[in-house]
Amino acid sequence: MHQKKVRKIMKETLVVLCVGDVIGEPGCLVLAKYLPRLKKHYGVDMVIVNGENSAKNGRGITPELMTFFKSCGVQVVTSGNHVWAKNTILSYFQTQSDLLRPANYPGDCPGKGVAVVAVNGILVGVVSMQGRVFLKEHLDCPFRSMQTILSFLKSQTSIIIVDFHAEATAEKQAFAYFFDGSVSAVLGTHTHVQTADERVLPGGTAYLSDVGMVGAQNSIIGFKKEIATRGFLTQMPIKFEVEYSDPFVFNGAILTIDTQTGHARSIERIFLVDHDVQIAK
């Protein structure tokens, strides 16, 4: 008797949930509340979160927080200029590949800026990249760094999602148009303020200037507004403190990506407001 060959049919599309900067303990609690609901509602295959502000004081990330993110079903955590704020994360980079630091940091920095993850049998490339305009770090050119990354990443997968952690909207737009059609999505982070310019560019790359944040809505980018305002008034150094008062926001974006071409079919912004999460400082 001849055995029938079973052909595994690849999904036509991959649904990816990308979440903006998670701010401190409030952001983590709101994330844990809404991730299961959103994954079920949208049929999410993969979750990517920017976690560089997830430490309790809103600066940095720790190995314990990486365990938390993974328990929530997050496959890859991206970052930016605050990734080095907690020294305990340095050893994590030596053994794990699910936390990314910006790829255009010097090569001898701990960790990597690129990950290739298998999702339902489909390889997905994730890149963490940092802009240079208005940021004090003197990094390699993100455009040329991305070109180098694509020279080897495209041989592995056509699905490539970039977290572009940058301040200037113009730099983010230029980066997205430069790589339109070469990557599946360019999603901005860092400003913590969600923009309303989501679209699929002519070449098939999904774009959003800034995904936003997960944290207190009545705040200044997730931190106590009185302290931040005092810094602007006095021009003196200040120590930011995470805002714990509700309401809280959950900002993200849903990508639907063609698994054959790697092009985005759609992008949808998520902006949820929560008045019920009780957080004791």
For residue 222, what is the DSSP state?
Answer: T
| Locus of tokens 């759609």 | 266
**What pTM was estimated for this model as a whole?**
0.94
Instruction: Please name the CATH architecture into which domain 14-218+244-274 falls.
Output: 4-Layer Sandwich (3.60)
Mind listing the pLDDT tens digit for each residue in 194-212? 999 999 999 999 999 999 9
Residues lower than pLDDT 50 in the chain: 1-7
What DSSP letter does each residue of 108-139 carry, written as one string?
TSSS-SEEEEEETTEEEEEEEEE--TT-S---
Question: β-strands 248-258, 21-22: how paired?
Answer: unpaired
Cβ neighbour number for residue 218 with a 10 Å cutoff? 12
Where in the chain are the domains? 14-218+244-274
- Cite the active site residues: 82
Widest CA span of the chain, in angstroms?
Answer: 84
pLDDT of residue 2: 47
